[in-house]
Amino acid sequence: MNSIKMIHTIARYYNTNERMTGLFVKITNQMITNCKYNILNFRRIARGETGKKGQPQNDDVLWDHEAYPPEELIPTLQSCIELNQAYLKQYEFTKERLMNMPKGKQFEFSPNQIFGRFDLFCRRVSKLIELFGTIQ
C-alpha cells in the first residue's frame, strides 16, 4: 500500500483519481484471480506442485469430497476473506495517515469501485464456507 501511495504522490501519469482507481481495481482483480487459483489448486500448492503446469482446474473439483475434503477447503476459503479484510484495513490505515499530512495528496477514491468486486467475491466465499460446513 505504501508503494501505491508513493505512486500517487510522485508519478505524473498516475496523479488523477481516475487512473489511481483503475490501478486499485486492477490490483483487486488480480487478488481475486489469485484467490480463485488458490482455492482450486490448494491441494497441489500444499504438495509443492505450484510450478507445474497441469490440467487447468475448473470449479467442478470443489464438489469432489475425497479430493477436496471440506475440513481442508474451509480454511483456504477463509483465507480469501481474511485477505480482503487485510487489504481494506491497509487502505484505511494509509488513508488515515495521509489525512494527518494535510499538505500531501489524499486518497480520495471510491471504495465501492475498488473493493466492490472483492466484497461480492467474499460474500460468495462465505456462502461456500457455510455450505461446506454443513456438509462437514
Q: Check residue 50 and give its pLDDT.
A: 61
26-46 confidence digits (pLDDT tens) = 999 999 999 999 998 887 777
Mean pLDDT of 8-37: 90
Confidence of residue 2 (pLDDT cuts 50, 70, 90): confident
84-125 confidence digits (pLDDT tens) = 999 999 999 988 888 888 777 788 888 899 999 999 999 999
Residue 54's domain comprises: 2-135
> Do the Cβ atoms of 43 and 57 come closer than 8 Å?
no
Q: Check residue 129 and give its pLDDT.
A: 96
How far is CA 4 from each of CA 34, 71, 85, 92, rounded to the nearest angstrom? 19, 36, 18, 13
Q: Check residue 57 and give its pLDDT.
A: 67
If one counts the domains in the chain, the total is 1
Q: Check residue 75 and give its pLDDT.
A: 94
55-73 confidence digits (pLDDT tens) = 556 777 788 888 788 898 9
Summarize the chain as % helix, strand, coil (round to 5): 70, 0, 30
Read off the amino acid at residue 114: I
> Phi then psi for 36, rounded to 5 degrees?
-60, -45
Confidence of residue 54 (pLDDT cuts 50, 70, 90): low
